Structure formats: structure tokens, C-alpha cells
Amino acid sequence: MPSQKKTTIIILSALCSLMIMSCSRKENVEQISSVSGENFDTYFADEEPSQEKQNDRLRNEIGRLFFVEHAGAEVNETMRLALQFHPPAGLLLMPPLDTENRQIQDMVRAYSTVVMNAHRKPVLISADTERGVFKGMTYLAQPRWLGKIASKQGYEICHLHAQIMADELLALGINAPMSVVSDLAHKTLASRGISNNPEIVSKCLQEFMQVFVERKKIIFITQHFPGASLVQTKMTSMDSFKKYLAPFVSLIDFVKIHHANVQLSLVINNAKYPLIDEKNKAPFSQLLLKDMLRDKMQFVGLAISDGMWKDSFAQMNTDQLLPMYVLSILSGMDVLTIPGSKFAPAVQYFRRLYDSKLTDVENYQLEVTVNKPVDEIRQNLRLRINEILDRLQPVQKAVGHSLPDHTEPKKQTAEINERYQKILQDNYFVEKN
């Protein structure tokens, strides 16, 4: 009996030690501001990086495969360290509606300074402003009145609206807004699209793109290729499909003409388009992302996913999501827009795949998801990372580091606003701020 008590005490003591170690490890991860850069790499990759791995460009830039949601308007210490050691392609800002513009400016400047001091390439700063997110800014990214006025008086109104929008965004430090929808105004897109006429949408958006080229330090990203409106339309022929696709085609053609000065990126809708691919949704469709977008349409910019927390993604746990992220990258998506909570697990998973360190169970799940042997998946992933980094480089060069200040808007902006408001009044529209 005394022997059994002694054994029980030893077991309990061991369990207590394990619990203390576990709590200590959790505290180290949660209080990540106190760890060094090398240990922060451990937080992402579960290992001490060797010199060889530190010098591996593809491995070190795996974070660039992601656009990371940033909720709130406070500088996050975990994100500061991520930007220093494992920067993503960009941040998608989602501040509360009542956030002061100066607070956003300070946050963007703080993050960009971290990236610069770490001698890293620029990180894109984005916001999904199509419904008007920021205080005092233009009500919508492209309100319906643009199409109505443009159809009667020409496209000056589109040019002016784009100038106001670009100046407002740049003042906040946002250099890669996911703002403008190229979808035709139809059903749920009726209030967010410029017009249901593809020619009007195309010409108006070309004005937007021209302004972004003139303003510099800001790139043009548009949603939701190949058209969110198509999902709600019974599409029975390719001719009908092409009508909804026309604005995207016109923008890609615009880039071909002005290739040296224009950066165009597309947000890919999460839906399925049976006329193109009967089996796979757009983020996983090589027929759409490679055969159609790259080969036939000759698109050269970034293909960025819509939020991978929407639709069916919201029903998946992390273990299910991570193989799907790999599948999307291998299918032709360049950058995945993911929740902030998934960034560390995603970088960790992709690095362990890169290093051949996934568990047997993880390898099996990945092979089932991608339908290829893991060695082939790993080889293709390395090729894709290299391709994506090459595609990202001119975008980074175009925007540079975003360092907004607190200066007042330029006089030119006031004059543009005055002209813009006059056109609205003449056409019986009143802008809502």
C-alpha cells in the first residue's frame, strides 16, 4: 500500500511539471513581444532555423502568400514581430467604423517603419472600402450614380471620383485598396456596381485606373473576377458570360497598352462557374485561374482570393483549411486573404511542408485534398512560391513603403471635390458622407 501511494505521488508530480511547462510555453506564445526573432521563428516553424534555412529565400518569404485580416485599429505586437521576421504580402485593415483617421495613419506608419527597419520589401496596406469603411470618406467606392451620370455626360465624374478616392486612401496610408467592383450592377450587386451596361462600367473603370497610375504609390485591385453577379444569373451560353466578363477584359487590355506603368490585381470570387469548371470553385480551378485568366486573357498581375473566412470556409476547422490553402496556391491563386488568427498556423504549415516535416496524418490529408503525392506537391509549391514572389516584386516596387503623415489635404483635392459636388447637384444627386 505505501508503495502504491509513493507511485501515485510520483505520477502526480510529473503531471504537475508537465502542466507548468505547458502553461509556460503558452505564456511565451501569448506574450510574444518578449521573445527574440529566432524564437519567433520557432513560434511559426516549431524549430530553431539553421543558417541554411535562414538563407533560403523561398522559405523565408512564405508569409508573402497571404493577405492578412487586421481587425481593430491598435498596433498589435504579434503583427509587429510577424512583419519583422515573416512579413505577409499585405494587411487588410478592418477598423471599427468610429476609428479616427489619425489613428489609422499612426498604425500604418508604425507597421511600415517596422518593415523598413528590418530591411524587408514593402507590405501592401489594403482595405475593403466598397461600402465606405472610414470616417469622413467618400460614401462608396463607386456609387451607382457614376454610371447614371456617365451615360448622359461622359466620364469626367468617374475621373473626379477616382481622384477623391485615391487621395483619401493615400492620406491614410492605404496603397492597395480592394475597393472597386467590376461586377455589373445586378441583384445584390445593384447598389455596389457602377452600371448594368458593361461598356459604361469598362470606360468608367479605365478612368479609375488612369487616376491610380497618375497618383502613383497606389495600385488598382478590383473585385470579384469573373463576376459575382454571374452567380445569381442562370448562365446558359458563353456569350452571356462574356457580357459580365467584359469590364475585367477591358482592364486587362488597358494594362497591355500601358504595361510599363500599370499594376492591376484581381480579387477572385469564391463561387463556382460551371461554364468554365463544372467541378471546382474559382479559388481551386486551374481551368479558370490558369487556362482562362493567364493563358487566354494574358493577365500578368496578382490573383488574390476573396476572404477565406466566408461561405464554406467558415465551416472548416484549421486542420481542414490548411490543405485547402495549399490546393488554392497550386491551382493558380497567388495570394490568399485569410483571417489574422490563421496567419501563424498557415506559415507554420507551409514551412513544415516545405521542409518535409509534416506528420504522416498531415501528409495523408494533404494528398487526399490535392490528389497528388506529397513529394510532387512540395516540388510544385516551391515553383509556385518563386513565381508568386516574381509577380509580387513589381507591385512592391510600385507602392513602396506606406508612411502617411497628418498633413491637411492638398488644395487640388478641395477643387476636385467642389467640381464633383457641382456635377452631383446638377444631376439631382447628393453625396452621403
Decide: helix, strand or coil at residue 126: strand
- Asked whether residue 378 is domain-assigned, the answer is yes
Which single residue is written with the C-alpha cell 466620364?
155
CB of 417 closer than 8 Å to CB of 164: yes
- Asked whether residue 241 is domain-assigned, the answer is yes
Q: How does pLDDT run across 66-79, given as a tens digit for each residue?
A: 999 998 889 989 99
pLDDT of residue 219: 92
CB of 126 closer than 8 Å to CB of 67: yes
pLDDT of residue 190: 75
pLDDT of residue 41: 45
Residues contacting 98, CB < 8 A, separation 6+: 135
List residues bridging with 272 in a β-sheet.
Answer: 281
Q: State the Cα–Cα distance between residues 324 and 368, nearest whole angstrom.
A: 11
Cell of 132: 465606405
**What pLDDT band is residue 204 in, cutting at 50, 70 and 90?**
very high
Buried b / exposed e along 42-70 (16+ C-beta atoms within 10 A): bbbbeeebeeebeebebbbbbbbbbbbbb
- Asked whether residue 281 is domain-assigned, the answer is yes
pLDDT of residue 39: 40
Angle between helix 77-85 and 101-117 (nearest 10)? 40
- Indicate the range of 13-17, 19-23, 130-134, 292-296 predicted with least confidence: 19-23
CB of 243 closer than 8 Å to CB of 200: no
Domain around 366 = 33-426
Check whether 3 has a pLDDT greater than 90: no
pTM equals 0.86
Which single residue is written with the C-alpha cell 516596387?
397
Cell of 290: 490558369
Q: State the Cα–Cα distance between residues 209 and 266, nearest whole angstrom.
A: 13
Compute the average pLDDT of residues 138-151: 80
**What pLDDT band is residue 6 in, cutting at 50, 70 and 90?**
very low
- Asked whether residue 221 is domain-assigned, the answer is yes
Comparing CA positions, the residue from 218, 289, 302, 297 lying closest to residue 254 is 297
Supply the CATH number for residue 232's domain. Answer: 3.20.20.300
Tally the residues of the chain: 433
pLDDT of residue 134: 64
Q: What is the mean pLDDT of the chain?
A: 84
- Asked whether residue 5 is domain-assigned, the answer is no
pLDDT of residue 191: 74
- Asked whether residue 309 is domain-assigned, the answer is yes
Compute the average pLDDT of residues 198-216: 93
- Asked whether residue 51 is domain-assigned, the answer is yes
**What pLDDT band is residue 141 in, cutting at 50, 70 and 90?**
low
Backbone angles phi, psi at 137, to 5 degrees: -90, 165
Check whether 390 has a pLDDT greater than 50: yes
**Is 354 or 100 the better-scoring residue by pLDDT?**
354
Q: State the Cα–Cα distance between residues 7 and 60, nearest whole angstrom.
A: 48
pLDDT of residue 403: 92
**What pLDDT band is residue 31 in, cutting at 50, 70 and 90?**
very low
- Asked whether residue 431 is domain-assigned, the answer is no
- Indicate the range of 93-107, 179-193, 238-252, 388-402 predicted with least confidence: 179-193
Per the structure, how many domains does the chain have?
1
- C-alpha separations of 185 from 32, 42, 79, 193, 430 in Å: 46, 48, 37, 4, 20
Comparing CA positions, the residue from 278, 276, 275, 271 lying closest to residue 292 is 276
The total of other beta-carbon atoms located within 10 Å of residue 11's CB is 10
